[in-house]
Homo-oligomer: A and B are copies of this chain.
């Protein structure tokens, strides 16, 4: 994946800012200082100001940030207003969970179709998304604008399906398969969901606490 001009850490914080701002909006907060925002996110005010300054000036010294304006700005940086379209490949448990419960449209993405090989799924529709046959993948992609493929196929289908996607011009994949899809020199953007990273972080914190409790005895 090509290196971005903005550091990966900054980019990873933007969705967290967005979630926090949505939360603040919902509780009726209209304006917030970098100090308060930092405290709620476990970041220093200067780190927050630095992150935002990467994308132009907003906020006014002494007045804090307008919550709705900052939210809109960050949503724009994240591309949420660009009308990206996605297809989902593989309607197993995880694909099904995403179609049913993950509000793609809340994040500015339209899920336009799903694909699977199982005859009993093809032609059915979940949460407004029709399931098509994998045989139609190439023809669908040639006729419809698609920006992102969500890959929720079984492990052994991950690489062959990725090849088909790339051959059809898809160059951004949201990967749930835990399989390394591309080599280091590929210019396909792959965003991996690694459940294990998250569980292991929790396991670390549990261990740390146990050790502290042990030491306190």
Contacts and interface: CB of A to CB of B under 8 A. Distances in A.
Interface of A: 1-6, 8-9, 11-12, 14-16, 18-19, 23, 40, 42, 77-80, 82, 84, 92-94, 96-98, 100-102, 104, 106-109, 147-148, 172, 174, 180, 184, 189, 191-210
A183 to B, nearest CB: 12
Contacts of A200: 14-15, 18, 78-80, 107
A105 to B, nearest CB: 12
Contacts of A199: 104, 107, 109, 148, 174, 191
Contact of A94 (B97, B108, B209): B97
**Which label, helix, strand, loop or mixed, suits the secondary structure of the A interface?**
helix
Nearest to A100: B93
Contact of A202 (B40, B106, B174, B210): B174
A50 to B, nearest CB: 15
Contact of A97 (B9, B97, B204): B97
A15 B174 contact: no
Given A9-B9, A148-B206, A207-B82, A198 B174 contact: yes
Max chain B C-beta neighbours (<10 A), residue from A8, A16, A23, A203:
A203
A79 B195 CA distance: 16
Contacts of A80: 200, 203
Given A15-B194, A40-B184, A193-B195, 10 more contacts: A12-B201, A14-B201, A15-B200, A78-B203, A78-B207, A84-B206, A93-B93, A93-B94, A174-B202, A189-B205
